[in-house]
Structure 1
């Protein structure tokens, strides 16, 4: 069977729903767990304001990522390998897409799905890496995100990877 090229269309979505839409698209494409596959139910760990807490990523938390079967989590594992090479230095989304050899939308969907995993499985609001928006390196993009891991997370990540 020949594989047809996907056609993409733009659909306006209110800003507050963008990550949920990306997560849903990742779920449809098989890169995210369906709600029925979620390992934790209920609101355990959710703070009174309805938000998940900020929780530092331990070596064990990071090790759990490396054994997860979800492709969205494995995309983040690959991303952490890159970021841990240069802790504290912002790495552009464009660089990550090129280095990971994925399409921009594919990585975006994986990151959105990873947010759901962070909430449902790890019961926290924060990723093991941080990001900030800045001027795009590629003239095609006015702005893009730059990702960074701290020295501490990089050391923990290297410890996890050395033990494999």
Structure 2
């Protein structure tokens, strides 16, 4: 946790104004916010979470197998989580620092912006995490993009929906910092 602090002088931005941000690593960014909160060494001021992978327990949901999702499929999800957690995936001992949705108490976390498409495999878990953040008193903006799949903005970067998605992220980040 102190590696970024030790290098804070490398930029003009103080470590106090750092935010957690990621794309495919959105779940890791959310877990990092938990760890930073618990250790109280640094205080992120914002979480920008792009279609984050938050809950390993989705690997056991067979209803997801019938979804017509693109890019990140239920099979990809099972592979990703089992590569990350091994045999512990979906078991009782997975740490919230590995799967942020496992955390029961979300109070005190930095404000968040979560963006996800309606055709993204992570839609349900992201919407639920946003609800839980809000219920815990954490300001959270949820941006759900109708008809968008996981990584749509990277697959179709010139599409207006992708450009608007990026503008929304930029506005959220600018507002936080």
TM superposition score category, shorter chain reference: under 0.3
**RCO greater where, 1 or 2, for CA within 8 Å and sep 6 or more?**
1
Q: With structure 1 as the length reference, what TM-score do the two structures score?
A: 0.27
User: With structure 2 as the length reference, what TM-score do the two structures score?
Assistant: 0.26
